[in-house]
Amino acid sequence: MTDILIRPLRESDISKADHVFRLAFGTFIGLQDPLTFFGDADFIRTRFMANPSGSFAAEVDGELVGSNFVANWGSVGIFGPLTIRPDLWDKGIAKQLLKSTMDYFEKLGTKHIGLFTWAQSPKHLGLYQRFGFWPRFLTAIMAKHLEGDGTIFADQATMPDEEKTSLQWSRYSEVIAEDRRGCLNGCRNLTTAIYDGLDVQHEINAVNTQSLGDTVLLWHDEGRRRLVGLALCHCGAGTEAGSGACYIKFGAVLPGANAAIYFDRLVHACETFAKAEGVSRLVAGVNTGRHEAYRKMISLGFRNEIQGVVMDRPNEPAYNKPEIYLIDDWR
């Protein structure tokens, strides 16, 4: 094998990178036709478009053989999917891609970096440990089949009437242009109250500009309307959800005494949103370190579909704490 070149991914690389991505994962999990991996969901184009400068390609003999993608969430950064063409596994290509990825985080000054990987694979854990990541809690990718309109939500039953009516949701796509900056600042204030510097504005903008779905905004009207929750949802083919599904890529509520109620209402709002979009499955990932949120999802009718482990650098919980009501899976 000649030299490995690591370079920025270009738009013209997308279809090749998508091919390698499906082939690599499909081969790893042993699919008969590896290229069917992830159906009509998209992880490559959407992530490249969301952050071109954080998208990396590995090239061998002039051909693209691997890629990796960074999502910049302010003080938190995640990366993946990292994939290498299967006939070139174990030749050090992923290590070189990871080196460039870590240099990029260094420039961003990211405080906490994380990833989701296969808990059962010694290779995956060993590879990431070389770069200072350590396995912590499992993350569950959960799903709920949506049917009818009569879902009873656990906390709604016990919620005082005035709380029910003072909580309303809306869509980010409906926010008028002049109010968008203020709305994004509100989202940042909410997430930074959970973990200092956590900021998912890039993702909200990506969903909006690429028409991947919408961001559900939850408001508490106590005389003054306050943002108390947000959930970035991908919907349908060509997004991270795939046909027939709504995927909550990131969802969070204001921490504090009302967090459980807000979370309940946020998931409820996502369910209503998903039905309005005509899909029949709601998918959401929760780190089991967020014990209350994980239990709440189970009580709301979600079941685990995929489990993986989250690895963190540094080896600290960041916002993966029992009392934090937050949805994301770092895939």
Span 196-225, contacts to ligand COA by CB under 6 A: none
Q: Which residue, 104 or 325, is less far from ligand COA as judged by CB?
A: 104
Q: Which residue, 129 or 211, is less far from ligand COA as judged by CB?
A: 129
Span 12-51, contacts to ligand COA by CB under 6 A: 24-25, 28
Q: Which residue, 38 or 219, is less far from ligand COA as judged by CB?
A: 38
Rounded to a whole number of angstroms, the minimum distance from the CB of residue 37 to ligand COA is 9
Q: Which residue, 47 or 268, is less far from ligand COA as judged by CB?
A: 47
Per-residue mark of binding to ligand COA, 112-131 (x: CB under 6 A): -----x----xxx-xx--x-
**Residue 99 interacts with ligand COA (CB under 6 A): yes or no:** no
Give the helix/strand (H/E) hosting 96: helix 93-108
CB 301 within 8 A of CB 153: no
**Residue 101 interacts with ligand COA (CB under 6 A): yes or no:** no
Of the residues 55, 67, 72, 83, which one makes contact with ligand COA according to CB under 6 A: 83
**Residue 134 interacts with ligand COA (CB under 6 A): yes or no:** no
CB 231 within 8 A of CB 248: yes
**Residue 92 interacts with ligand COA (CB under 6 A): yes or no:** yes
Of the residues 4, 50, 71, 84, which one makes contact with ligand COA according to CB under 6 A: 84
Residue 266: what residue type?
L
Q: Residue 188 class from Cβ within 10 Å (0-12 exposed, 13-18 middle, 19+ buried)?
A: middle
Q: From the centroid of its chain, how far is CA 299? A: 22
Count, residues near ligand COA per rule CB under 6 A? 22
Of the residues 87, 90, 149, 174, which one makes contact with ligand COA according to CB under 6 A: 90
The three-class DSSP label of residue 248 is strand
User: What's the CA gap between 287 and 306, in Å, rounded?
Assistant: 12
Residue 296: what residue type?
K
Residue 36: what residue type?
T
Of the residues 57, 60, 93, 190, which one makes contact with ligand COA according to CB under 6 A: 93
Token duo for residue 262: 């807000």
Contacts (Cβ under 8 Å, ≥6 apart) of 82 = 66, 67, 68, 94, 97, 98, 101
Q: Count the alpha carbons within 13 Å of 177 in the hemisphere toward its beta carbon.
A: 1
Q: Count the alpha carbons within 13 Å of 210 in the hemisphere toward its beta carbon.
A: 26
Of the residues 54, 77, 80, 236, which one makes contact with ligand COA according to CB under 6 A: 80
Rounded to a whole number of angstroms, the minimum distance from the CB of residue 157 to ligand COA is 40
- Binding positions for ligand COA, rule: CB under 6 A: 24-25, 28, 80-84, 89-95, 117, 122-124, 126-127, 130
